Amino acid sequence: MKAATKITPIAFAICLATTLISNAATAADSSQSTNLPPITTKPITLDIHFHYHERKTQYNNDWPVEKRASELTGISLNNVTTSGFDTGNESFNLMRANGDWPDIVGGTNLRAKFNQYGPLGEFLPLNDLIDQHAPNIRAFFEDKQDLIKSISAPDGNLYHIPYVPDGKFGRAYFIRKDWLDKLALPVPQTVDDVYNVLTAFLNEDPNGNGIKDEIPFFVRDFEELVRLVTLWDARTSGTDSWHDFYVSDNTVHHGYVKEEYRHGITQLAKWYAEGLIDKDVGTANSGDIRTQRLSKNQGGMTHDWFASTASFNDKLAADIKGFSFIPFAPPKSVSGKRIEEHRRTSVKPDGWAITKNNKRVVETIKYFDFWFSSAGRRLANFGVEGEHYTLVDGQPVFTDEMLNGDVPVNTKLWSIGAQVPRGFHQDYAYERQWTNEIALAGIDLYEAGNYLLKPFYGINLNAEETDTFDFYWNTLLTYMLERQEEWILGTRDINKDWDTYLVQLEKLGISKVMQIMQTAYNRQYITGNAELTEE
């Protein structure tokens, strides 16, 4: 959630929101047609360094999506990514060390590099270029100022066009509906209902084998057990990373020092002691615990991803009679709030940027803009019309071969150059087409209930703050997580430890960390320049 850069903060300068809306609207309309005039009538080729999937996959000049983009824009990209580096940043570092800059650099996990080397002049600031030449990008960013701030360098400039995922929903509460029916219990609506249902699952043999073998609540990740503290109004994270900071009323908080957390952990320890929670939850998993618990007809409830968890209904239908594992609304917390704390990230640290060696800067920013037009966005998401999808009532629908071929849809898309982490805006419709009805109904339920919290994009620290953060945080978090596990598993008692725990956190530097997080947050989101704020 943080990027290391040693730049004096300067007032946030991007002015996308104030630019000409009418121009943007006109351009967006004209891009509805795929008969766009090309960006350049005399075709040009730009070199690109681009890798993704743990840096194992490179840009491919032969992707059908690349070829179609070339036809539409007059611009072809030529892959010059150095081969022979399977992981890490060696390829990028070598290119940089040699001063061997192509026209464009792109791919996964590059935001920190863009924001580190952009202010040194190695990547071009895009703010003015977007204003002048990229109406589709400008229109897209218009109501997303927090997003732009979160991905800009501490000097206030934007140095890359990001990959922006679509679809908000990630994890959800799931429960064995057929077990509830068998025990004549309704879907739990409150934290007390959950307790009663899990207790019934434990004691009343809902799988009907005459053995007390049910595991009422199970999770693949210990962190998703901890997340149940939200049922007691505590928090575990404000982003899609576990144990992260969260923001409330413009104040940065960490959940693991709060009184609600103490109460929530106390209750989870009780549930664990009573056998409501998988006793193996704290141990290293051998294989996929979700598959094991469900396929053995033992697991009753979990908190996990919509699409993959719902897919067990298809996988296990033949083996377990009546098997029905459904997403249900977040139960009301002790204060009556229903929240789903997890949501997908709003912007990836991926995308692409223009290097200082680029001699066709205007054409390049227009090319980046193409991918935010309707035609470009559809190409980036679905591939080539007629080959990979057809339009049905104006909506792209994947061909039967794409949906039902031997290769999973997303793997197939990557192989044609769609859904790769160029700067683009994903369209969740691409994924919805292969998500089953049970998951979709759950997503609709969560959408209707408005259970997600406001997204938080994370905090960019400057170089000095990064040093402080790194000095204290790993030790702090390690200590917090050790205690967390011991408390839940019952080897220590949170209520005996609590005061000492808070004192120890203070000794380990938590106040210093909270202070730099707040300072960085204020600079990034409130003032644009913390150093000019009157205190």
Q: Which residues contact Ca ion (rule: CB under 5 A)?
A: 205, 207, 209, 211, 213
Distance CA(11)–CA(524), nearest Å, equals 9
Nearer Cβ to Ca ion (207/373): 207
The nearest distance, CB 224 to Ca ion, in angstroms, is 24
Token pair of 503 as six digits? 């004192």
Nearer Cβ to Ca ion (58/207): 207
Buried b (16+ CB within 10 A) or exposed e, 141-164: beebebbbbbbbbbbbbbbbbbbb
Beta carbons within 10 angstroms of residue 16's beta carbon: 21
The nearest distance, CB 303 to Ca ion, in angstroms, is 22
Nearer Cβ to Ca ion (81/207): 207
Beta carbons within 10 angstroms of residue 401's beta carbon: 12
The nearest distance, CB 218 to Ca ion, in angstroms, is 14
Beta carbons within 10 angstroms of residue 266's beta carbon: 17
Nearer Cβ to Ca ion (209/478): 209
The nearest distance, CB 200 to Ca ion, in angstroms, is 12
The nearest distance, CB 209 to Ca ion, in angstroms, is 5
The nearest distance, CB 296 to Ca ion, in angstroms, is 10
Buried b (16+ CB within 10 A) or exposed e, 482-499: ebbbbbbbeebebeeebe
Nearer Cβ to Ca ion (240/278): 278
Buried b (16+ CB within 10 A) or exposed e, 343-354: bbbbbbbbbbbb
Give the DSSP H or E segment for 130. Answer: helix 127-133
DSSP for 469-511 reads HHHHHHHHHHHHHHHHHHHHHTSS-HHHHHHHHHHHHHHTTHH
Nearer Cβ to Ca ion (211/284): 211
Nearer Cβ to Ca ion (73/207): 207
Token pair of 238 as six digits? 């404000």
Nearer Cβ to Ca ion (137/294): 294
Distance CA(346)–CA(327), nearest Å, equals 23
The nearest distance, CB 207 to Ca ion, in angstroms, is 4
The nearest distance, CB 281 to Ca ion, in angstroms, is 19
Helix 361-370 vs helix 64-73: angle between axes, to the nearest 10 degrees? 120
The nearest distance, CB 266 to Ca ion, in angstroms, is 29
The nearest distance, CB 116 to Ca ion, in angstroms, is 56
Are 141 and 374 in contact by the 8 Å Cβ rule? The answer is no
Distance CA(227)–CA(241), nearest Å, equals 12
Rounded to a whole number of angstroms, the CA Rg of the chain reads 25
Beta carbons within 10 angstroms of residue 395's beta carbon: 12
Distance CA(215)–CA(294), nearest Å, equals 10
Distances in Å between the Cα of 384 and the Cα atoms of 370, 381, 390, 425 are: 15, 9, 9, 17
Nearer Cβ to Ca ion (216/238): 216
Nearer Cβ to Ca ion (211/318): 211
The nearest distance, CB 439 to Ca ion, in angstroms, is 27
The nearest distance, CB 211 to Ca ion, in angstroms, is 5
Nearer Cβ to Ca ion (53/212): 212
Measured in degrees and rounded to the nearest 5, phi and psi for residue 523 equal -60, -40
Distance CA(138)–CA(358), nearest Å, equals 22
Nearer Cβ to Ca ion (325/469): 325
Dihedral angle sign, alpha carbons of residues 114, 115, 116, 122: positive
Distance CA(168)–CA(221), nearest Å, equals 21
